[in-house]
Chain A
Amino acid sequence: MLAYIWLIPLFPLLAFLANGFFGRKFIKHNAHAVSIVAILGSALFSTVAFIAVVRGATLHHNVYTWVFAGEFQASIGFQVDALTATMLMIVSIVATCVHIYSIGYMHGDDSYYRYFTYLSLFCFSMYMLVLANNYLMLYVFWEGVGLCSYLLIGFWFTNPAPPAAGKKAFLANRVGDFGFGLGVMMIFATLGTLDYSTVMANVPLISTSTATLITLLLFLGATGKSAQIPLYVWLPDAGEGPTPCSALIHAATMVTAGLYMIARSSALFNAAPFTLTLIATIGAMTALMAASIALVMKDIKKVLMYSTISQLGYMFLGLGSGNYTSGIFHLMTHAFFKALLFLGAGSVIHGMSGERNMFVMGGLKKHMPTTWWTMFAACVAIAGIPPFSGFWSKDEILASAFKSGNYIPWAMGCIAAFMTAFYMFRLLFLTFYGESRVDEHHMHHLHESPATMTRPMIFLAILALISGGVGISWPLENGFIHKFLGSVLANQHHGSLPVTLEFGLMGFSVLIAVAGILVAYLMYIKKSVSPEKVAGAMGPFYKLALNKYYVDEVYNFIFIRGLVLGGGKFLWDFDAIVLDGIVNGIRHLTIFIGNFSWNFDIWIVDGIVNGVREVILFVSYLSALVDGNIVDGLVNAVADGIGYLGKGYRKVQTGFVQNYMLIMALGFFVIIGAYFVIL
């Protein structure tokens, strides 16, 4: 029944290839046609699939085995159920609007084709992300949408800021992926599979500690992709990209991937109550912190970026409270009104020739009426004014937080709700109302955007106003979306509150929203309260918020400059000094030993040899001397003596026997005499 599902990602993929290969030379300024035909095709089949799923169809289909080794394997495969179908619809609607809007917004850009190439690649990746049937494939397209985000943020790469922002986004997401990747590995190591349905079916086998560790790792991934504390820092900078892509990627679709992943793993997260509490807390903290920064931003896109972070925080609060449906519900309403806000801001920026500072705008209402009223619709939706969409979804999140016992996160959410209403209407008032602060130059070009831009905004404005309807019901939390998603999301049921309390909470949140709007009105329209005075009264808090709590600076100092670059420099020196030092040391030692040996040879060995030679020579000399004088002398002396004696004795040799006899007798007496003398 859903056999055509592969067509949905295929169309944008083909558009990507066509524009990528032929865009620069051939398609050029018709690139939008290719991409729009593709996204319309995808939207059509998404709708068909959605209807089929509403009627009860599901799909689980492996296309091919992608990676395997030993007992590990992961497939490329599709899964379609209520959650997928909901995401498909959100992506298709916002993407179609953004595509059409981009015709006007990107008109005349040098790299028109490149923009639509990236946009189609993004749509392909996003569809694949929500259609995946296993964690590895989710991870793959999780990175895929990250790549597109990187490319689109850095789209105007000839300025230094956009590529730097793109890199920052990629790296912050990589830090998150560190957790997500390890989480995926741990799922495999624990259950031996990465297939969603098998994992969810086997959750009961996992101990709480294992489940907690897995979910914490996955949640780290979600904080990267969905811009939560501590990894939200990339999203404000992401506004460097073209505004329509901010609407699509950084408001409606990609940044919700983290939420989608957690909702997809709801059974697993239910097994880890600690993680859920942490998610609720982090979500509420992010909602509050980002909202407080949005209060003081001057750049219209920065306000919206921080607003997105804050709203994503609400969604996490909903998930962390165990009401996954409320998170996805808010994801949907937010997709419409926040995409609209970005498109509206883009329209303003377009009209203002690129100016983003709201303090040099003002009074644009009469110049840009359609932009004004559509943004107004979005503002009432996000501020939580009933009966518009944001009210229903945000209120359900706050009620879930309250019901699940997360009272402090609930209170933080309420404060953030006040801030939300304030900063949105501050944006609206500063931009569209009051005296015009636009200078001559910009005033000259100021115009309402073309129909290609305003029509998608009108369409989204209608959705922003009415889309809450899918969640309205009595009794509460029993609307279409609850029934639809309830079949796949493992919502926790914390019982229901007394009706009076239920309505009390609802009334309270309306009150908060109205109060926020009122304060904005007093400060920026009535001007009865001076913003400067309020800022002065807030003192250091104002300064902190204005400087975004110095988080960028701290991260930069500790991680980038300190650990990474400092560490790199240190290790490089280590390489050069220690390791090469050892190698060179060995070389020098060798040379030294060589020299030493040489010297040893010359001085000692040769010395000894020479010495021995000298000694021998000396001895020889001596010998010669001795030979010549002493030995020879002695010899000669003996010889001479003998000769001399001989001469003397010759005379004795007379030949007469009597003489001999006499001598013998003399000798005899001498010996006898000596004998007696000595003894």
Chain B
Amino acid sequence: MLGTSNVLGFPILSTIASIPLLGALFIMFFIKKEDEELIRRASLATSILTFFASLILVFKFLRGTPDFQFVEKLTWIKSLGVSYFVGIDGMSLLLIILATVITFIGILSSWTAITQRVKEYYIFMLLLEVGMLGVFISLDVFLFYVFWEIMLVPMYFLIGIWGGERRLYAAIKFFLYTLCGSVLMLLGILTIYYQAGAQLGHYTFNMLEWYTVSIPQNTQWWVFLAFFVGFAVKVPMFPFHTWLPDAHVQAPTAGSVILAGVLLKMGTYGFARISMPLLPWATVKFVPFMVVLAIIGIIYGSLVAMVQKDMKKLVAYSSVAHLGFVMLGLYALNAQGITGGILQMINHGISTSGLFLCVGIIYERRHTRMISEFGGLSKQMPVFAVFYAIMTMSSLGLPGLNGFIGEFLILVGAFKANWMYAAWATTGIILGAGYLLWLFQRVMFGPLDNPKNEKLPDLSVREIFVMLPLVVWAFWIGLYPKPFIEILEPSVNHLVERINPPPQNVFRVGGVNMNAGTVYSVNAGSGHWSTGHGGGHGATSGGHGAEAGSSAVEHGAETTVPHGGGSHGGSH
């Protein structure tokens, strides 16, 4: 079983999650609803405080272990085995930071956009943050489910109250879709609850204890499908994606930002946190199914994005494609794919939120999102053009920016799993450049021929500060992703070991070899190239430690592991 620890000896996670809750309560009871400026400032202050509190996690987080940290555990409903059990690993840490940053940006971006029912709006924003953080810190599945459902409610109201003309349709569609998914997910959870209870001898919702249970294959098969629907709706994977464009188009800008930035990650997080480790057999079994859906999502989302007339809808469909990449990475079932997949969750949060903000900035000025209404804005809004261009490039995976790192690792992982996966998915990269550049060209370039656009003001200082964190983060991951990958590495390796997929990579010279089956020795004395990736884990953390100055040959040798150097599942 995975270990747990709390180096701080202080309930830091609960503190972080309760700051926005307290902020919301404070606004609710102590600020009059006419005091709009104060409400904005209070919620902004709350979100900043939450962000800084979440930074403590980054500094105190122990690298190099897959164990859960900052753990708190209190009994809640004893008879059912429910406890208030929270803790994080590398994957949840990054998503928590993402959630706190995106909430801050969402609140700051709403400053002038939201003028109706301001008090309720910011209360809902803060409650949404509580729900998101709750999902990412829960280690008790019951608690997880509670937060999962709680999160739906503020989002529903954000779309339903502050949305566009068809907001009710969109809100109800969103709610029904995700609710249907949740019901199936609950069925899956209960199945495992009884299954695990029978095996453990006591009934519990403790996720870490569930990890130790081996569930019969037959059950795994069904539970996988139940979880699949629950999470796939959220991701959203083809063919459960049609709620997304409606929800995005109708939601207010900040709603879209949070929806794209964080809420969509709930689905992929669910796969990585619950479905994959609990159901390793079914995970391997369903790889072709999942990958095909992911690739369909990539190509489908891109092609549909290509023909959109509404900027926001275009970005919404691009999310379908990007999340397809994340799923492809996760189900490549190797260190590259999963690292890339998780990193791409963050990257998508950065770049797509950025694009939604850009659309929102234009929308606030012109109250239209139709692409045909624009053209030549670069002349009028040069600063905006720079930010928008950076976000476009980040989203289409230009090297040097964040998107590339995620996409490339995903594709490397997919290539190792099956080169056809990578070949199909790579077409999505061509298409991605197509729709994003075409959009940019139509909106920003060409003559400024619509008289309504002649007086558009460039970005205000506030808007620059909305965009700046995303730009900085995009470059940081793009140029120096090491800190992020390091945080993820132990959790990812642990996950790969748990699933223990069959050997991949038919191309590898030596071992499983497409050539002649001869085992070659590359670099004398260093042993053979490892075939599976199970063996590689132990050595890799040492491998990238050696940086400057190592000659190529040494470099190669360090990544080379003799056969049997790593033992599959030895840590269980």
CA distance A182 to B424 in the complex (A): 10
List A contacts of B308 (CB < 8 A): 572
* B17, CB-defined interface residue at 8 Å: no
**Shortest Cβ distance from residue B410 to the other chain A in the assembled complex, whole angstroms:** 10
Given known A-B contacts A147-B398, A159-B446, A565-B307, A193 and B555 have beta carbons under 8 A apart: yes
Name which residue of chain A comes closest to B306, CB basis: A568
CA distance A206 to B441 in the complex (A): 44
**Shortest Cβ distance from residue A65 to the other chain B in the assembled complex, whole angstroms:** 4
**Shortest Cβ distance from residue A70 to the other chain B in the assembled complex, whole angstroms:** 3
Which residues in window 514-572 of B have CB below 8 A to A? 514-516, 520, 522, 529-530, 533, 536-537, 539-540, 543-544, 547-553, 555-556, 559-561
* A600, CB-defined interface residue at 8 Å: no
Which residues in window 512-554 of A have CB below 8 A to B? none
Most buried by B among A67, A71, A191, A572: A71
* A163, CB-defined interface residue at 8 Å: yes
B514 partner, pick from A67, A160, A207, beta carbons under 8 A: A207
Q: Is the CB of A140 within 8 A of B242?
A: no
Q: Is the CB of B433 within 8 A of A171?
A: yes
List A contacts of B550 (CB < 8 A): 62
List A contacts of B540 (CB < 8 A): 68, 70-71, 73
CA distance A73 to B482 in the complex (A): 11
List B contacts of A192 (CB < 8 A): 508-509, 522, 529, 556, 559-560
List B contacts of A144 (CB < 8 A): 398-400
CA distance A603 to B529 in the complex (A): 76
Given known A-B contacts A189-B419, A192-B556, A575-B304, A67 and B522 have beta carbons under 8 A apart: no
A65 partner, pick from B482, B522, B560, beta carbons under 8 A: B482
CA distance A209 to B506 in the complex (A): 13
List B contacts of A206 (CB < 8 A): 509, 515
Q: Is the CB of B427 within 8 A of A178?
A: yes
* A616, CB-defined interface residue at 8 Å: no
Given known A-B contacts A140-B399, A158-B379, A163-B441, A70 and B536 have beta carbons under 8 A apart: yes
* A195, CB-defined interface residue at 8 Å: yes
Encode contact with A along B26-67: 1 for CB under 8 Å, 0 otherwise: 000000000000000000000000000000000000000000
List B contacts of A447 (CB < 8 A): none
* A190, CB-defined interface residue at 8 Å: yes
**Shortest Cβ distance from residue A388 to the other chain B in the assembled complex, whole angstroms:** 39
| Range for the number of chain A residues in contact with chain B | 35 or more
Q: Is the CB of B522 within 8 A of A154?
A: no
Q: Is the CB of A139 within 8 A of B399?
A: yes
List A contacts of B306 (CB < 8 A): 564-565, 568
List A contacts of B548 (CB < 8 A): 61-64
Name which residue of chain A comes closest to B173, CB basis: A583
CA distance A178 to B415 in the complex (A): 13
- How many residue pairs link A and B with beta carbons under 8 A? The number is 231
Name which residue of chain B comes closest to A206, CB basis: B509
Encode contact with A along B482-499: 1 for CB under 8 Å, 0 otherwise: 100100010011001000
List B contacts of A147 (CB < 8 A): 393, 398
Q: Is the CB of B415 within 8 A of A71?
A: no
Encode contact with B along A157-192: 1 for CB under 8 Å, 0 otherwise: 111101110110011001101100110011011111
Complex interface: stretch among B95-103, B345-353, B401-409: B401-409
* B426, CB-defined interface residue at 8 Å: yes
CA distance A154 to B413 in the complex (A): 35
**Shortest Cβ distance from residue A172 to the other chain B in the assembled complex, whole angstroms:** 10
Complex interface: stretch among A197-205, A244-252, A297-305, A320-328: A197-205
* A571, CB-defined interface residue at 8 Å: yes
B415 partner, pick from A140, A189, A579, beta carbons under 8 A: A189
Encode contact with A along B383-409: 1 for CB under 8 Å, 0 otherwise: 000000000010000111000110011
Majority DSSP secondary structure for residues of B touching A: helix
List A contacts of B552 (CB < 8 A): 60, 133, 193, 195-198
Q: Is the CB of A158 within 8 A of B304?
A: no
* A66, CB-defined interface residue at 8 Å: yes
**Shortest Cβ distance from residue B566 to the other chain A in the assembled complex, whole angstroms:** 10
List B contacts of A580 (CB < 8 A): 242
* B371, CB-defined interface residue at 8 Å: no
Name which residue of chain A comes closest to B397, CB basis: A143
List B contacts of A202 (CB < 8 A): 509, 522
B411 partner, pick from A159, A185, A197, beta carbons under 8 A: A185
Given known A-B contacts A143-B398, A195-B556, A158 and B429 have beta carbons under 8 A apart: no
Q: Is the CB of B509 within 8 A of A191?
A: yes
Q: Is the CB of B430 within 8 A of A158?
A: no
Q: Is the CB of A67 within 8 A of B430?
A: no
**Shortest Cβ distance from residue B250 to the other chain A in the assembled complex, whole angstroms:** 15
CA distance A144 to B485 in the complex (A): 23
Name which residue of chain A comes closest to B405, CB basis: A67
* B503, CB-defined interface residue at 8 Å: no
Complex interface: stretch among B137-145, B146-154, B331-339: B331-339
Q: Is the CB of A178 within 8 A of B426?
A: yes
Name which residue of chain A comes closest to B409, CB basis: A69
CA distance A67 to B483 in the complex (A): 10
List A contacts of B539 (CB < 8 A): 71
* A610, CB-defined interface residue at 8 Å: no
**Shortest Cβ distance from residue A114 to the other chain B in the assembled complex, whole angstroms:** 9
* A359, CB-defined interface residue at 8 Å: no
List B contacts of A140 (CB < 8 A): 399-400, 404
* B416, CB-defined interface residue at 8 Å: yes
List A contacts of B398 (CB < 8 A): 143-144, 147
List B contacts of A164 (CB < 8 A): 441
Which residues in window 578-603 of A have CB below 8 A to B? 579-580, 583
Q: Is the CB of A158 within 8 A of B549?
A: no
Q: Is the CB of B537 within 8 A of A174?
A: no
CA distance A157 to B441 in the complex (A): 9
B303 partner, pick from A62, A163, A567, beta carbons under 8 A: A567
B447 partner, pick from A136, A158, A569, beta carbons under 8 A: A158
CA distance A351 to B393 in the complex (A): 37
Given known A-B contacts A73-B543, A192-B560, A210 and B514 have beta carbons under 8 A apart: yes
A185 partner, pick from B399, B422, B446, B496, beta carbons under 8 A: B422
List B contacts of A22 (CB < 8 A): none
CA distance A65 to B405 in the complex (A): 13
**Shortest Cβ distance from residue A122 to the other chain B in the assembled complex, whole angstroms:** 14
Most buried by B among A63, A186, A196, A572: A572
* A26, CB-defined interface residue at 8 Å: no
CA distance A73 to B536 in the complex (A): 12
CA distance A32 to B550 in the complex (A): 39
* A24, CB-defined interface residue at 8 Å: yes
**Shortest Cβ distance from residue B391 to the other chain A in the assembled complex, whole angstroms:** 14
List B contacts of A69 (CB < 8 A): 335-336, 339-340, 409, 412-413, 485, 489, 492
B555 partner, pick from A67, A157, A198, beta carbons under 8 A: A198
Given known A-B contacts A167-B437, A189-B505, A571-B300, A181 and B426 have beta carbons under 8 A apart: yes
Chain A residues packing against B (C-beta within 8 Å): 24, 60-73, 75, 133, 136, 139-141, 143-144, 147, 150, 154, 157-160, 162-164, 166-167, 170-171, 174-175, 177-178, 181-182, 185-186, 188-193, 195-198, 201-202, 205-207, 209-210, 564-565, 567-569, 571-572, 575, 579-580, 583
Chain B residues packing against A (C-beta within 8 Å): 173, 177, 239, 241-242, 245, 300, 303-308, 334-336, 339-340, 376, 378-379, 382, 393, 398-400, 404-405, 408-409, 411-413, 415-416, 419, 422-423, 426-427, 429-431, 433-434, 437-438, 441, 444-448, 480-482, 485, 489, 492-493, 496, 505, 507-510, 514-516, 520, 522, 529-530, 533, 536-537, 539-540, 543-544, 547-553, 555-556, 559-561
A-B contact pairs, 29 of them (CB 8 A): A60-B551, A62-B547, A65-B482, A67-B405, A68-B540, A69-B340, A69-B413, A70-B335, A70-B336, A72-B409, A157-B378, A158-B446, A174-B433, A177-B429, A182-B419, A185-B415, A186-B415, A188-B415, A189-B507, A192-B559, A195-B552, A205-B509, A206-B509, A209-B514, A564-B306, A568-B303, A568-B306, A572-B304, A575-B242
5 other A-B residue contacts (CB within 8 Å) besides A70-B339, A175-B430: A147-B393, A164-B441, A564-B434, A568-B304, A575-B245
